[in-house]
Structure 1
């Protein structure tokens, strides 16, 4: 349904590789480029982080798509505590849908569990080179290593780290995923920027405007670089 003459929101249903229907909202700004927004664990596309980021991108004239992972929100399937590979495949299904529609997915923005799935996706599929990690976990002993295997870091170095650039945004007051996780990630990602939001908790409760500004600036920088690289 149209909000005004420039922006439209439309619900899309996209099947994943397992036959489940993924439900999402396209914020259409008329651009070929589009940003995918991935919610965290026990959340959905209607989480205020996702809706606020979509609104900020929309106001900047950048299209985005926020969707529910399998078993979350309106999407089909059973909810799982883990399921990172499955969520990476969900991102792949969504990315393929827009690529086949002649859209350019310029970035994936993921929060918490969604950020981990986005990083895993980038290491596996190599087709989207910009990842914005919001409060993702990077404790190799209790986080990614346990979930993805002891060779996860080595596989990412060989298959993905050089292929994408990333920005991590983390709150200094995050007690669910302590800020040390962001600093550890910064040590091993060569093409990476880190921004700490002072006083912010895991979901940036009182820092939504600052979060949106940081993410938007990074997306704009990505757009600018992509256009420069595409120039003859």
Structure 2
């Protein structure tokens, strides 16, 4: 982590981008001198300072690829209220970011999301069709799954009685408490990743990376994505958990190599 921070020290620039609600989204631009860039999206309860986000930015920079890691609404330094659901709100946040860089004549060559961020980038690709390379790092295929493990049994009855359930979450290198309300829970339960993935353009390349030892989101979810996405490549990181605690080097290497491969194919075309 210290080495990654040292590598990033020379080319960082804080960028603030307003979303459509007027909240300021705060991010860090890692400028390699290349106008094209990659956008990095953190997971639930995490931030742009998550180890995965920082290490990916470092690895991309070493490869000469610019990147932007930012905080979704209500996370990290960004304004607004945090929410357990808000998948489509985060899609809107990501769209505000992509439009900002398009307006600055910087092409967005890929969007990368981890965990909930992976679902957000896939949903973005289902709604918008302006990004042709999407990285699904440990995303969840069936959003209703995992809720009982997170909230406990009879969660809906408890929420309706108490108004919310308080959760303590450890995501990457960040620990936080947050409340899950019935509204935010319904937001998650209303989304079918299967149906949304079918709306992704066939020419959009989707790369799925998942740890074989992920106990938060099972590796079987990665194989489900592989079944329905036509322009798809899958890489399983053997022994990796949900945050790739002991497998950061393999994760970053795989992502960087996939992007280089994609750029090379674009040049050939």
The answer, yes or no, to whether TM exceeds 0.5 is: yes
Calculate the TM-score normalised by the size of structure 1: 0.91
Q: In the alignment, which of 173, 188, 211 is matched to residue 147 of structure 1?
A: 188
Find out whether 1:189 has 2:229 as its counterpart. Answer: yes
| Cα RMSD, aligned residues only | 2.0
Unpaired segments ≥5 residues, structure 1: none
Q: 1:205 to 1:74 in 2, by over 3 A?
A: same
Deviation of 1:129 (Å): 1.2
Q: 1:175 to 1:155 in 2, by over 3 A?
A: closer
Secondary structure of the corresponding residue to residue 249 of structure 2: helix
Q: In the alignment, which of 128, 134, 138 is matched to residue 135 of structure 1?
A: 138
RCO comparison, higher one (Cα < 8 Å, 6+): 2
> In the alignment, which residue of structure 2 is the partner of 1:80?
83
Deviation of 1:7 (Å): 5.3
Partner Cα distance (2:136, 2:103) in 1: 25
Secondary structure of the corresponding residue to residue 108 of structure 1: strand
Aligned length in residues? 224
Unpaired segments ≥5 residues, structure 2: 1-5, 147-185
Find out whether 1:17 has 2:17 as its counterpart. Answer: no
Partner Cα distance (1:176, 1:135) in 2: 9
Q: 1:165 to 1:65 in 2, by over 3 A?
A: same
**Structure showing greater Rg:** 2
Secondary structure of the corresponding residue to residue 61 of structure 2: helix
Partner Cα distance (2:78, 2:191) in 1: 31
Q: In the alignment, which of 119, 136, 143 is matched to residue 116 of structure 1?
A: 119
Calculate the TM-score normalised by the size of structure 2: 0.79
Partner Cα distance (1:38, 1:127) in 2: 17
> In the alignment, which residue of structure 1 is the partner of 2:218?
178
